[in-house]
Amino acid sequence: MIITGKTKVLSVIGNPVAHSLSPVFQNAAIEAAGIDYVYTAMPVANEMLEDAIKGMKAFSVCGLNVTIPHKENVIKYLDAIDKDAEILGAVNTIVNDDGRLIGYNTDVVGFVKGMKQNGFEPAGKNAVLLGAGGAARAIIWGLVQEKVASLTIGVRNVPKVKPLVDYFSQYMEISLLDWQSETFDQALQGAELLINATPLGMYPQVDNMPPIQWDKVQDGIFVYDIIYTPAETLFLKTAREHGCKTLNGEAMLVGQGAESFRLWTGMEPDQRVMTKALRKALEQGK
């Protein structure tokens, strides 16, 4: 790749951001598409966020990804945001449209596309979500928009999660249950889609997983873990051995990045190339 004065610049900003794998798979997609772009990572201190967004206009940066801790705070510096970003209260992608900065949240698209690309249509299905961490808002909103038949959220601390569920209950009825209760086990028996949105099982705590009664889980349902390190968590391994179809968090990570790429360039990236680059980086990082 030769960078010239005509090369268009994309970047991810965060604090910290050196660990981000976005440059790995975005640059792989850029190379595969044969377009004159480059993607980098730029650390932005919390107090410098406004200046950084002004700099995006000043330097004609074409697009940004936004990661922790700036996803919420960046909104006030933008000219417009899309519906997903508005509902979630967070932006992870900014497009510079001739000096007009538009914010998007591509996590929803990444989450949903991951399932569909692996042959599972969530519409009309009974979904059970484990945990309500950082990605849960995008997951819940994605399931609402896909019109799942029912949504049950199992957590260890019901009062803590209740405000989140109350917020989304304006869009559909959601059951919030203690994941060690009999009522939750009953919901689990009817699940056709089971999602782990907790960090349980993430490297290095690979021997952990949510306290699921696997004898309550139907054989052959679709089980989705948004963790991607390790590639197969104990949760997914157990699900696979139970006869379930499984999917890890690579699909959501690459999917949201692919949607950002499309917004910036107007092109559909090769997600196979992106996934291959991501997996190689993850293996090298071990």
Q: Which of 8, 71, 160, 280 is catalytic?
A: 71
Distance CA 106, CA 263 (A): 10
Is 57 tagged catalytic? no
Distance CA 281, CA 161 (A): 34
Distance CA 178, CA 155 (A): 5
Q: By three-state DSSP, how is residue 14 classified?
A: strand
Distance CA 91, CA 187 (A): 33
The amino acid occupying position 99 is: G
The amino acid occupying position 280 is: K
* Cross-strand bridge partners of residue 65: 12, 93
Which of 1, 2, 23 minimizes the C-alpha distance to 11? 23
Say if residues 87 and 141 touch (Cβ distance below 8 Å). Answer: yes
Say if residues 102 and 81 touch (Cβ distance below 8 Å). Answer: yes
Distance CA 46, CA 265 (A): 28
DSSP 134-146: TTHHHHHHHHHHT
Say if residues 168 and 143 touch (Cβ distance below 8 Å). Answer: no
Q: How does DSSP classify residue 34? A: T
- What positions carry a catalytic annotation? 71
